[in-house]
Amino acid sequence: MNKGLALQIWESLRRVAIGYTLAAVVGIGGGIAIGTNKLLFRACDPFFQILRTIPPLAWLPIALAAFRQVEPSSIFVIFVTAVWPVLINTAVGVQEVPQDYRNVARVLQLPRLQYFWTILLPSAAPYIFTGMRIAVGLSWLAIVAAEMLTGGVGIGFFIWDSYNSSRMSDLIVALIYVGVVGFVLDKAIYYLGKAVVQSDGT
Amino acid sequence: MELDVGFDGKRENAMAMLNSMDPTLVPTAPPADFLTLTGLTKVYPTPRGPFTVLDGIDLTVAEGEFISIIGHSGCGKSTLLNMVAGFTKPTTGEIRVQSRLVTKPGPDRMVVFQNYSLLPWLTVYDNIDLAVKTVYRDLRKPDRQALVEEHLEMVGLSEAARKKPRQISGGMRQRVAIARALAIRPQVLILDEPFGALDPITREELQDKLLEIWREHRLTVLAITHEIDEAIYLSDRIVMMTNGPAAKIGEIVSVPFPRPRNRQAIAEDPDYYTLRNHLLDFLFHRFALHDED
Amino acid sequence: MTASSTTGVAKPPGAAKDWLQKLGPQVLPPLLLLIFLLFVWEVLCAGDKPRLPPPTAIVKDSWRLISDPFSIAAV
């Protein structure tokens, strides 16, 4: 485990990046699907409401059993943590497209694909980024906790290892690192959202 | 002979309209009944039984006519407009534009919405361009650009073309909405309280602008308003609605003043006060709101 | 339903239908999805030594936990 703190963080960030990206893709795609289809929304919503309350770490054993490897299991935990806020916010954003904009689309007889790109997506974008911002914070919470349990590499493991070896100063430094990285992640998504949504003018 | 105002017919028709707008072409004689509403009713089912909003509306509008609909709030005038636009279906009765039955919204009956309904993430130019390129899909880019720019200039907003709706005033937004509506050459222009949210000076300016455009393009206009003076200044005929529920057309009044109209001259005309008092009497005595009784 | 009608507390004949019409759209879609998901899960985790147990195996193995929340888990 003789890697620097930066490398440990890098490992954790890499896992978060993979799991979070998967969650964003599935969350936005799924959110648009259930947001535009009432029947699908009614069918899925109860499941989402129950599944999203399951704490991230509770998924870890089942992931370990299914994947039998630490790496995909950690990524799965990130995914399953981050997907719900993105999914639910996207669905709400799609459902909340103002009637005014829908009416414009109807009177112009805007083709579906064009409606999607010029009205639905820009209108839902603020909601999607709200979900993505909640999700990135949760992902970071989850990865640190997951790595404490799985061991091997990552900042979570480093913290746990420091504790076990009574290296309390290292532990405190690591905590500060975790906090700063979490802060940077949150701001990164915030500014990304701001850049995208503002270039759209909303 | 019944044609749905569907997509295929629409474009052909719209292109024909586009050609007819060419000033070098001689306009054909307008058919007497351009827009006809026959036996329109609207009944909404509610938990406590059916609720009749409109009860038997018959109205015939000639091509190029400017019609205002006035009535108290809740008299179903918005419902009426929504049915002409195609957003809601009449419970019974039918609406025809020329001979085509109205079944759904379409760009031949373009609406200028009460709150403008511009897309905030598109520039002023792109808002109009979206409408133009959606309706005239075969139009080449330079022609399209010319069309958008022409209409921006018409409402005096060439300088604001690259601005977002949020960066311009309410009056300017309303002008964009009007430009967007006109750029697609609708057969019927539907205005839902178009100047309601504007200050009096902007309102007068825009009324004049609208009349100017209306005269130039020989549009058929259906407008909702609750301003009596506005209705008199703008319209050929004023349709007065009785109070809801089960609202009907109470009376249709022709406005006799010659065009182009001049506010000053109208205000000094003795007929103006007779007409105005007649409308006021209708709204505030014969069909006053119950809570004002 | 037949029981209630024989005991004389039968609701008006439309009641059951009303209930179905009101709650049907809310209850039926998730119910159908649940059945579908259980089926997929069952198929995916079929086989000799699956990594995760299929629903039928869960019910069979953990029946004591399901039926009696106060029982001590099977050893």
Query: Quick one: pLDDT at residue C13?
Result: 60
Q: If you measure CA to CA, which chain B residue comes closest to A109?
A: B106
Return the ∠ at Cα A107 (arms to A105 and A108), rounded to 5°.
65
Q: What is the CATH number of the domain that holds B77?
A: 3.40.50.300
Query: Quick one: pLDDT at residue A102?
Result: 92
The answer to whether chain C touches chain B by having 3 or more C-beta pairs less than 8 angstroms apart is no
CB contact under 8 A, A46 and C51: no
Q: Give a yes or no: residue B97 inside a domain.
A: yes
CB contact under 8 A, A45 and C30: yes
pLDDT tens digits along A20-48: 999 999 999 999 999 999 999 999 999 99
In angstroms, the separation between the Cα of residue A128 and the nearest Cα of chain B is 16
Q: Give a yes or no: residue C22 inside a domain.
A: yes
CB contact under 8 A, B135 and A119: no
pLDDT tens digits along B175-205: 899 899 988 888 899 998 888 777 888 888 8
The Cα C36–Cα A40 span in angstroms is: 13
Q: Give a yes or no: residue C72 inside a domain.
A: no
Of C30, C51, C52, which has the smallest distance from its Cβ to A43's Cβ? C30
The Cα B68–Cα B234 span in angstroms is: 8
pLDDT tens digits along B140-176: 999 999 999 988 988 888 999 999 999 998 888 988 9
Q: Give a yes or no: residue B85 inside a domain.
A: yes
Q: Give a yes or no: residue B121 inside a domain.
A: no
The total number of structural domains that make up chain B: 1
DSSP A52: T
Winning range, highest mean pLDDT, from B16-30, B112-126, C12-26, C38-52: B112-126
Q: Give a yes or no: residue B6 inside a domain.
A: no
Interface chains of chain C (3 or more CB pairs under 8 Å): A
Please report which confidence band the pLDDT of residue C73 belongs to, taking 50, 70 and 90 as the band edges: low
Q: If you measure CA to CA, which chain B residue comes closest to A201?
A: B121
Res. B28: pLDDT tops 50: no
pLDDT tens digits along A103-112: 999 999 999 9
Q: What is the CATH number of the domain that holds A19?
A: 1.10.3720.10
CB contact under 8 A, A66 and C52: yes
Query: Quick one: pLDDT at residue B218?
Result: 84
Res. B12: pLDDT tops 50: no
Query: Quick one: pLDDT at residue A202?
Result: 47
Residue C32 CB-density burial (10 A; 0-12 exposed, 13-18 middle, 19+ buried): exposed
Helix (H, G, I), strand (E, B) or coil at B99: coil
The answer to whether chain A touches chain C by having 3 or more C-beta pairs less than 8 angstroms apart is yes
Name the strands in the sheet holding B35-46, side by side, starting at the edge strand that comes first in the sequence.
Answer: B49-61, B35-46, B92-97, B100-101
Low-confidence ranges of chain A (pLDDT < 70): 1-3, 198-202
The total number of structural domains that make up chain C: 1
Question: Which B positions 70-89 lie with beta carbon below 8 A of chain A?
Answer: 85-87
Q: What's the domain range around C19?
A: 12-67
Residue B75 CB-density burial (10 A; 0-12 exposed, 13-18 middle, 19+ buried): buried
In angstroms, the separation between the Cα of residue B50 and the nearest Cα of chain A is 25
The total number of structural domains that make up chain A: 1
Return the ∠ at Cα B283 (arms to B277 and B285), rounded to 5°.
80
Q: What's the domain range around B83?
A: 32-103+236-293
Instruction: For B200-254, give the DSSP string.
Output: HHHHHHHHHHHHHHHHHHT-EEEEE-S-HHHHHHH-SEEEEEPPSSSB-EEEEEE
How many CB atoms neighbour CB B248 within 10 A?
A: 17
Which of A39, A40, A41, A42 to probe by mutation at the C interface, max C CB count within 10 Å? A42
Q: Tell me the chain B residues in contact with residue A103 when contact means C-beta distances shorter than 8 Å.
A: 87, 105, 111, 113, 117
Mean pLDDT confidence for B44-65: 89
Q: What's the domain range around A154?
A: 5-201
Which residue shows structure tokens 């770490």? Answer: A57
Query: Quick one: pLDDT at residue A3?
Result: 66
Length in residues, chain C: 75
Query: Which of A121, A162, A127, A200 is closest to A1 using CA atoms?
Result: A162
